[in-house]
Amino acid sequence: GADYNGPRTEVDPFQPIQTAHDAVDAGTVAVILKTGSVLFSATGQATVLIYGPSLFTALDELRPQNEQTLATAAGFAVTVWNAATWSTKTSADFAKFSAIVLPDENCVYDTGHLLTANNTKPIWSPVVTGRIVVVGTDPIYHQFDQTQALTLMTNGIKFAASDPNATGLYIALGCTYALTTAETPVSVLSQIGAFSVIGQSGLGQTVTISNAAHPVMTSITAAGLSNWHITAHEAFPMLSSYPLGFAPLATIYKSSTETNVAYIIARDTPAP
């Protein structure tokens, strides 16, 4: 082939192998740079931020997965912030992530684990302009005998992180509001919109898929979500219980009204 190491009067920047200059070229020969163009593109790895105070970490043979392990397996770069670190961050810090995850703490019946997220909601909530999933059950607990619990978590995180131009949110309420008997505001979400839930009393065991084509429902069936002993721990009792722009993905029977109510909801794009 051509000798690219000898004296030359023309430099082709598109050759894969070529020294920058030969010593004999410098100051003695006019060098003409060939013209052309090369298009480069780069795709960064999507990033997920997990709220540490709710992350179930006592993994064992019955419950070997959590949102951190599932997001990592799905190809995300995962960061977990504990309460102290979370409290020091700015809106700009939160906005760097593809999705924020407020995980299921394995069926804890109080709101204490959400305290830091609730206290800092004026900082992180405004950056959540992307896709949102709210789950009114505890898939972490049920992974030991319900394989679709893991699918639900993985799908939810992937959906929340799927807008390349915005930060999304996945939250599993678990058993946080399970014992409430009256409609109760979900305080940690109050700066995103007005959400209110009822507890598990009077909710049935049979699930209906409202939107089987939705990405969160991929490979999920009504049978796979039904009969989890306590299938749903929270539900949104009416349409006004969650903001405009959200739609039910799965509903469950409510005996007191003899109707189905939403317990998994999602926002595909920001509300107008």
The reported pLDDT for the residue numbered 34 is: 54
Assign 42 a pLDDT band (cuts: 50, 70, 90).
very low
Q: Decide: helix, strand or coil at residue 145.
A: coil
In this structure, the number of other CB atoms found within 10 A of the CB of residue 71 comes to 28
Q: Answer whether residue 41 shows pLDDT above 50.
A: no
In this structure, the number of other CB atoms found within 10 A of the CB of residue 128 comes to 23
Q: Answer whether residue 38 shows pLDDT above 50.
A: no
Q: Answer whether residue 4 shows pLDDT above 80.
A: no
Element (H, E) at 72: helix 67-73
Distance of alpha carbon 50 from alpha carbon 56, whole angstroms: 11
The tokens describing 67, both together, are 């949102």
The reported pLDDT for the residue numbered 78 is: 98
What dihedral do alpha carbons 161, 57, 55, 182 form, nearest 10°?
130
Assign 33 a pLDDT band (cuts: 50, 70, 90).
very low
Q: Decide: helix, strand or coil at residue 116.
A: helix
The reported pLDDT for the residue numbered 27 is: 54
pTM of the model: 0.84
Per-residue model confidence as pLDDT tens digits over 191-228: 999 999 999 999 999 999 999 999 999 999 999 999 99
Q: Which residues contact 233 (CB under 8 A, 6 or more apart)?
A: 107, 136, 137, 138, 173, 174, 175, 176, 177, 178, 199, 200
Mean pLDDT to the nearest integer, 118-127: 98
The reported pLDDT for the residue numbered 45 is: 87
The reported pLDDT for the residue numbered 36 is: 56
The reported pLDDT for the residue numbered 43 is: 55
Q: Answer whether residue 97 shows pLDDT above 90.
A: yes
Q: Answer whether residue 110 shows pLDDT above 60.
A: yes
Q: Calculate what percentage of the chain has a pLDDT beyond 90.
A: 81
Assign 269 a pLDDT band (cuts: 50, 70, 90).
confident
How remote is the C-alpha of 57 from its chain's centroid?
Answer: 18
The reported pLDDT for the residue numbered 216 is: 98
The reported pLDDT for the residue numbered 7 is: 53
Alpha helix positions (H), 74-192: 83-88, 91-95, 115-119, 121-124, 139-142, 147-160
Q: Answer whether residue 32 shows pLDDT above 60.
A: no
Q: Calculate what percentage of the chain has a pLDDT beyond 70.
A: 83
Per-residue model confidence as pLDDT tens digits over 240-267: 999 999 999 999 999 988 899 999 999 9
The reported pLDDT for the residue numbered 13 is: 47
How remote is the C-alpha of 180 from its chain's centroid?
Answer: 27
Mean pLDDT to the nearest integer, 141-165: 97
The reported pLDDT for the residue numbered 256 is: 87
Element (H, E) at 222: helix 222-225
